[in-house]
Protein backbone atom coordinates (compact mmCIF):
# COMPACT_ATOMS: atom_id res chain seq x y z
CA UNK A 1 0.00 0.00 0.00
CA UNK A 2 1.40 3.37 -0.97
CA UNK A 3 1.62 5.92 1.79
CA UNK A 4 -1.33 8.30 2.21
CA UNK A 5 -0.96 11.90 3.48
CA UNK A 6 -2.57 11.01 6.82
CA UNK A 7 -0.05 8.17 7.31
CA UNK A 8 2.67 10.71 8.14
CA UNK A 9 1.04 12.38 11.18
CA UNK A 10 -0.19 8.94 12.28
CA UNK A 11 3.36 7.61 12.16
CA UNK A 12 4.68 10.59 14.12
CA UNK A 13 1.98 10.11 16.76
CA UNK A 14 2.88 6.45 17.05
CA UNK A 15 6.54 7.32 17.48
CA UNK A 16 5.63 9.76 20.24
CA UNK A 17 3.46 7.11 21.88
CA UNK A 18 6.26 4.54 22.10
CA UNK A 19 8.78 7.20 23.10
CA UNK A 20 6.54 8.19 26.00
CA UNK A 21 6.40 4.55 27.05
CA UNK A 22 10.18 4.47 27.52
CA UNK A 23 11.71 7.94 27.86
CA UNK A 24 9.64 11.08 27.14
CA UNK A 25 12.76 13.24 27.47
CA UNK A 26 13.99 11.85 24.14
CA UNK A 27 10.91 12.91 22.19
CA UNK A 28 12.53 15.78 20.25
CA UNK A 29 15.63 13.71 19.48
CA UNK A 30 13.41 10.93 18.15
CA UNK A 31 11.26 13.31 16.09
CA UNK A 32 14.32 15.00 14.63
CA UNK A 33 15.68 11.67 13.39
CA UNK A 34 12.30 10.41 12.22
CA UNK A 35 11.63 13.56 10.18
CA UNK A 36 15.08 13.20 8.61
CA UNK A 37 14.27 9.63 7.59
CA UNK A 38 10.84 10.48 6.18
CA UNK A 39 12.33 13.34 4.15
CA UNK A 40 14.54 10.83 2.27
CA UNK A 41 11.53 9.16 0.67
CA UNK A 42 9.48 10.16 -2.32
CA UNK A 43 6.20 9.71 -0.48
CA UNK A 44 4.24 9.52 -3.73
CA UNK A 45 6.05 6.27 -4.53
CA UNK A 46 6.71 4.77 -1.09
CA UNK A 47 5.12 1.81 0.68
CA UNK A 48 3.77 2.87 4.07
CA UNK A 49 5.19 -0.20 5.83
CA UNK A 50 8.68 0.30 4.42
CA UNK A 51 8.84 3.86 5.72
CA UNK A 52 7.40 2.80 9.07
CA UNK A 53 9.93 -0.01 9.46
CA UNK A 54 12.92 2.31 9.09
CA UNK A 55 11.34 4.91 11.35
CA UNK A 56 10.62 2.44 14.16
CA UNK A 57 14.07 0.89 13.85
CA UNK A 58 15.71 4.28 14.38
CA UNK A 59 13.37 5.12 17.25
CA UNK A 60 14.12 1.88 19.07
CA UNK A 61 17.85 2.57 18.73
CA UNK A 62 17.51 6.02 20.29
CA UNK A 63 15.30 4.67 23.08
CA UNK A 64 17.78 1.89 23.81
CA UNK A 65 15.22 -0.90 23.59
CA UNK A 66 14.21 -3.32 20.84
CA UNK A 67 10.80 -3.96 22.37
CA UNK A 68 9.20 -0.79 23.81
CA UNK A 69 5.74 -2.38 23.77
CA UNK A 70 6.77 -5.40 25.89
CA UNK A 71 4.64 -4.51 28.93
CA UNK A 72 1.59 -3.70 26.80
CA UNK A 73 2.01 -6.91 24.81
CA UNK A 74 2.02 -8.91 28.05
CA UNK A 75 -1.21 -7.20 29.11
CA UNK A 76 -2.75 -7.90 25.69
CA UNK A 77 -1.96 -11.59 26.09
CA UNK A 78 -3.38 -11.67 29.62
CA UNK A 79 -6.57 -9.93 28.53
CA UNK A 80 -7.04 -12.33 25.62
CA UNK A 81 -6.50 -15.35 27.87
CA UNK A 82 -9.18 -14.03 30.23
CA UNK A 83 -11.62 -13.83 27.29
CA UNK A 84 -10.66 -17.23 25.88
CA UNK A 85 -13.47 -19.20 27.62
CA UNK A 86 -16.07 -16.75 26.29
CA UNK A 87 -14.69 -16.95 22.74
CA UNK A 88 -14.61 -20.74 22.88
CA UNK A 89 -18.20 -20.78 24.11
CA UNK A 90 -19.26 -18.54 21.22
CA UNK A 91 -17.67 -20.94 18.75
CA UNK A 92 -19.10 -24.04 20.45
CA UNK A 93 -22.63 -22.61 20.42
CA UNK A 94 -22.50 -21.33 16.85
CA UNK A 95 -24.21 -23.00 13.90
CA UNK A 96 -21.15 -22.03 11.87
CA UNK A 97 -18.07 -22.70 14.01
CA UNK A 98 -15.66 -21.55 11.31
CA UNK A 99 -17.31 -18.17 10.82
CA UNK A 100 -17.58 -17.66 14.58
CA UNK A 101 -13.87 -18.41 14.98
CA UNK A 102 -13.04 -15.95 12.18
CA UNK A 103 -15.04 -13.23 13.95
CA UNK A 104 -13.36 -13.88 17.30
CA UNK A 105 -9.93 -13.72 15.70
CA UNK A 106 -10.77 -10.40 14.04
CA UNK A 107 -12.09 -8.97 17.30
CA UNK A 108 -8.64 -9.73 18.68
CA UNK A 109 -7.19 -7.42 16.01
CA UNK A 110 -8.48 -4.50 18.11
CA UNK A 111 -5.48 -5.05 20.39
CA UNK A 112 -3.21 -2.59 18.62
CA UNK A 113 -1.69 0.43 20.35
CA UNK A 114 -0.21 3.74 19.31
CA UNK A 115 -2.86 4.64 16.71
CA UNK A 116 -5.87 6.93 17.10
CA UNK A 117 -8.39 4.08 17.10
CA UNK A 118 -6.60 2.12 19.83
CA UNK A 119 -8.62 1.16 22.91
CA UNK A 120 -7.77 3.00 26.12
CA UNK A 121 -6.01 -0.08 27.43
CA UNK A 122 -5.70 -3.80 26.61
CA UNK A 123 -8.21 -4.53 29.36
CA UNK A 124 -10.82 -2.40 27.55
CA UNK A 125 -11.41 -5.28 25.16
CA UNK A 126 -13.15 -7.10 28.01
CA UNK A 127 -15.89 -4.46 27.85
CA UNK A 128 -15.92 -4.23 24.06
CA UNK A 129 -15.95 -7.93 23.24
CA UNK A 130 -19.72 -8.49 23.36
CA UNK A 131 -20.41 -5.31 21.38
CA UNK A 132 -17.97 -6.30 18.65
CA UNK A 133 -19.39 -9.81 18.66
CA UNK A 134 -22.93 -8.50 18.16
CA UNK A 135 -21.70 -6.21 15.39
CA UNK A 136 -20.49 -9.26 13.47
CA UNK A 137 -18.67 -9.23 10.14
CA UNK A 138 -19.56 -6.10 8.20
CA UNK A 139 -17.64 -7.37 5.18
CA UNK A 140 -18.07 -11.13 5.05
CA UNK A 141 -16.35 -13.29 2.45
CA UNK A 142 -15.81 -16.26 4.75
CA UNK A 143 -17.63 -18.51 2.28
CA UNK A 144 -14.91 -17.80 -0.29
CA UNK A 145 -12.27 -18.68 2.30
CA UNK A 146 -14.14 -21.87 3.11
CA UNK A 147 -14.23 -22.83 -0.58
CA UNK A 148 -10.45 -22.65 -0.78
CA UNK A 149 -10.04 -24.61 2.45
CA UNK A 150 -12.36 -27.33 1.17
CA UNK A 151 -10.00 -27.84 -1.77
CA UNK A 152 -7.22 -28.75 0.65
CA UNK A 153 -3.58 -27.93 0.04
CA UNK A 154 -1.16 -25.62 1.80
CA UNK A 155 -2.27 -22.63 3.86
CA UNK A 156 -0.06 -19.87 5.26
CA UNK A 157 -1.54 -17.93 8.19
CA UNK A 158 0.23 -14.61 8.84
CA UNK A 159 -0.40 -13.50 12.42
CA UNK A 160 -0.45 -9.91 13.63
CA UNK A 161 -0.68 -8.72 17.24
CA UNK A 162 -0.07 -10.14 20.68
CA UNK A 163 -3.34 -10.98 22.43
CA UNK A 164 -4.90 -11.48 19.03
CA UNK A 165 -2.74 -14.59 18.65
CA UNK A 166 -4.76 -16.24 21.44
CA UNK A 167 -7.89 -16.01 19.29
CA UNK A 168 -5.92 -17.01 16.19
CA UNK A 169 -5.32 -20.35 17.88
CA UNK A 170 -9.07 -20.97 18.03
CA UNK A 171 -9.37 -20.20 14.32
CA UNK A 172 -6.44 -22.46 13.49
CA UNK A 173 -8.22 -25.31 15.30
CA UNK A 174 -11.19 -24.84 12.96
CA UNK A 175 -9.00 -24.51 9.87
CA UNK A 176 -7.29 -27.81 10.67
CA UNK A 177 -10.65 -29.56 10.39
CA UNK A 178 -10.18 -29.13 6.65
CA UNK A 179 -7.65 -31.29 4.82
CA UNK A 180 -4.93 -28.64 4.74
CA UNK A 181 -1.31 -28.25 5.75
CA UNK A 182 -1.33 -25.15 7.97
CA UNK A 183 1.76 -23.01 8.56
CA UNK A 184 1.56 -20.20 11.12
CA UNK A 185 3.83 -17.18 10.50
CA UNK A 186 4.91 -14.63 13.12
CA UNK A 187 7.39 -11.74 13.09
CA UNK A 188 11.08 -12.51 13.00
CA UNK A 189 11.85 -9.82 15.60
CA UNK A 190 9.77 -7.71 18.01
CA UNK A 191 8.17 -4.71 16.31
CA UNK A 192 5.15 -2.73 17.51
CA UNK A 193 2.68 -5.00 19.33
CA UNK A 194 3.18 -7.86 16.88
CA UNK A 195 3.47 -11.50 17.93
CA UNK A 196 6.81 -13.29 17.70
CA UNK A 197 7.96 -16.91 17.97
CA UNK A 198 8.07 -16.52 21.74
CA UNK A 199 4.33 -15.78 21.79
CA UNK A 200 3.53 -18.64 19.42
CA UNK A 201 5.43 -21.02 21.68
CA UNK A 202 3.86 -19.65 24.87
CA UNK A 203 0.37 -20.32 23.54
CA UNK A 204 1.33 -23.64 21.96
CA UNK A 205 0.29 -22.70 18.45
CA UNK A 206 2.26 -25.69 17.24
CA UNK A 207 -0.38 -27.97 18.80
CA UNK A 208 -3.00 -26.79 16.28
CA UNK A 209 -0.83 -26.18 13.22
CA UNK A 210 1.58 -28.21 11.14
CA UNK A 211 4.45 -25.76 11.21
CA UNK A 212 5.52 -22.39 12.61
CA UNK A 213 7.72 -20.00 10.65
CA UNK A 214 8.88 -16.45 11.23
CA UNK A 215 9.28 -13.69 8.69
CA UNK A 216 12.99 -13.96 9.43
CA UNK A 217 13.52 -10.22 9.67
CA UNK A 218 12.62 -6.97 11.38
CA UNK A 219 9.74 -5.35 9.51
CA UNK A 220 6.25 -3.98 9.73
CA UNK A 221 4.31 -6.68 7.91
CA UNK A 222 6.59 -8.73 5.65
CA UNK A 223 9.80 -7.63 3.97
CA UNK A 224 9.77 -9.86 0.92
CA UNK A 225 13.40 -9.11 0.08
CA UNK A 226 14.77 -10.00 3.53
CA UNK A 227 12.40 -12.79 4.58
CA UNK A 228 13.78 -16.20 5.47
CA UNK A 229 14.38 -18.85 2.83
CA UNK A 230 11.87 -21.25 4.41
CA UNK A 231 9.12 -18.64 4.17
CA UNK A 232 10.11 -17.73 0.63
CA UNK A 233 9.77 -21.37 -0.43
CA UNK A 234 6.47 -21.71 1.41
CA UNK A 235 5.07 -18.69 -0.45
CA UNK A 236 6.08 -20.24 -3.76
CA UNK A 237 3.93 -23.32 -3.09
CA UNK A 238 0.93 -21.97 -1.19
CA UNK A 239 -2.73 -22.58 -2.05
CA UNK A 240 -4.19 -19.92 0.25
CA UNK A 241 -2.75 -17.06 2.29
CA UNK A 242 -4.63 -15.82 5.33
CA UNK A 243 -3.38 -12.38 6.33
CA UNK A 244 -4.29 -10.85 9.69
CA UNK A 245 -4.22 -7.13 10.37
CA UNK A 246 -3.26 -3.90 8.68
CA UNK A 247 0.53 -4.24 8.66
CA UNK A 248 0.33 -7.45 6.67
CA UNK A 249 -2.16 -5.82 4.30
CA UNK A 250 0.17 -2.86 3.74
CA UNK A 251 2.92 -5.17 2.50
CA UNK A 252 0.98 -7.99 0.79
CA UNK A 253 -1.10 -5.46 -1.16
CA UNK A 254 2.15 -4.50 -2.94
CA UNK A 255 2.49 -8.06 -4.29
CA UNK A 256 0.72 -10.44 -6.66
CA UNK A 257 0.34 -13.26 -4.16
CA UNK A 258 -3.09 -14.84 -4.70
CA UNK A 259 -5.44 -16.06 -3.42
CA UNK A 260 -5.19 -14.09 -0.21
CA UNK A 261 -7.82 -13.56 2.47
CA UNK A 262 -7.46 -10.44 4.60
CA UNK A 263 -8.94 -10.68 8.09
CA UNK A 264 -8.84 -7.40 10.01
CA UNK A 265 -10.45 -4.43 11.69
CA UNK A 266 -10.23 -1.36 9.43
CA UNK A 267 -8.66 0.79 12.13
CA UNK A 268 -7.31 3.59 9.96
CA UNK A 269 -8.70 5.60 7.06
CA UNK A 270 -5.90 4.88 4.55
CA UNK A 271 -6.22 1.10 4.88
CA UNK A 272 -10.02 1.28 4.78
CA UNK A 273 -9.89 3.50 1.68
CA UNK A 274 -7.29 1.29 0.00
CA UNK A 275 -9.51 -1.75 0.55
CA UNK A 276 -12.65 0.15 -0.46
CA UNK A 277 -14.19 -0.54 2.95
CA UNK A 278 -15.74 1.62 5.70
CA UNK A 279 -13.73 2.55 8.78
CA UNK A 280 -13.90 0.55 12.03
CA UNK A 281 -15.51 -2.63 10.76
CA UNK A 282 -14.64 -6.30 11.03
CA UNK A 283 -13.82 -7.49 7.55
CA UNK A 284 -12.99 -10.62 5.59
CA UNK A 285 -12.03 -9.76 2.02
CA UNK A 286 -10.57 -12.20 -0.49
CA UNK A 287 -8.40 -11.20 -3.45
CA UNK A 288 -8.23 -13.82 -6.20
Return the percentage of the chain with pLDDT > 70, whole number.
100
Q: Residue 127: in which H helix or E strand, if any?
A: helix 125-135
Residues of the chain with CATH 3.40.50.10880: 70-287
Q: Has residue 118 got a pLDDT over 90?
A: no
Report the pLDDT value the prediction gives residue 112, as an integer from 0 to 100.
87
CA pair distance 286, 288, nearest whole angstrom: 6
Determine which of 25-29, 69-73, 122-126 has the lowest per-residue pLDDT on average: 122-126
Find out whether 162 and 77 touch, Cβ atoms under 8 Å: yes
Quote the mean pLDDT of the chain: 96
The phi, psi pair for 185, rounded to 5°, reads: -120, 125
Q: Has residue 116 got a pLDDT over 80?
A: no
CA pair distance 205, 243, nearest whole angstrom: 16
- DSSP structure string for 86-117: HHHHHHHT-S-HHHHHHHHHHHGGG---SSTT
- Mean pLDDT (whole number) for 256-276: 96
Bridge partners, 155 (sequence order):
182, 240
Report the pLDDT value the prediction gives residue 21, as an integer from 0 to 100.
96
- The helices-and-strands tally (H runs, E runs) of the chain is 12, 7
Return the percentage of the chain with pLDDT > 90, whole number.
96
Q: What is the DSSP secondary structure assignment for residue 46, as one 8-state letter?
A: -
CA pair distance 45, 67, nearest whole angstrom: 29
- 95 by Cβ neighbours in 10 Å (0-12 / 13-18 / 19+) ranks as exposed
Give CATH for domain 70-287.
Answer: 3.40.50.10880
Q: Has residue 278 got a pLDDT over 80?
A: yes
Q: What is the pTM of this model?
A: 0.97
Tell me which residue of 175, 202, 172 sits closest to 74, measured CA to CA: 202
Q: What is the DSSP secondary structure assignment for residue 3, as one 8-state letter?
A: P
Find out whether 115 and 193 touch, Cβ atoms under 8 Å: no
- The fold adopted by the segment(s) 7-63 is Helicase, Ruva Protein; domain 3 (1.10.8)
Q: Going by DSSP bridges, is the β-strand pair 153-158/180-186 parallel, antiparallel, or unpaired?
A: parallel
pLDDT digits (tens, 9 = 90+) for 168-214: 999 999 999 999 999 999 999 999 999 999 999 999 999 999 999 99
Q: Report the side by side order of strands in the sheet with 139-140.
A: 139-140, 282-287, 260-265, 240-244, 153-158, 180-186, 211-214
Torsion of CA 91, 92, 96, 98, to 10 degrees: 50
Residues of the chain with CATH 1.10.8: 7-63
Amino acid sequence: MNIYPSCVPCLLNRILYETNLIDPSKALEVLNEVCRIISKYDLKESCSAVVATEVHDATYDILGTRDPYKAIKDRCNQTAVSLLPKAQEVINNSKDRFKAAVLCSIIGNVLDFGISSSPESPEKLTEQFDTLLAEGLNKDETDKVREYLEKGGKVLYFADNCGEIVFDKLLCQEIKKFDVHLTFVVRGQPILTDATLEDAQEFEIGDVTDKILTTGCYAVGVNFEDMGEDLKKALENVDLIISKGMGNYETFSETDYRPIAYLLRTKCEPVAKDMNLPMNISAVKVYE
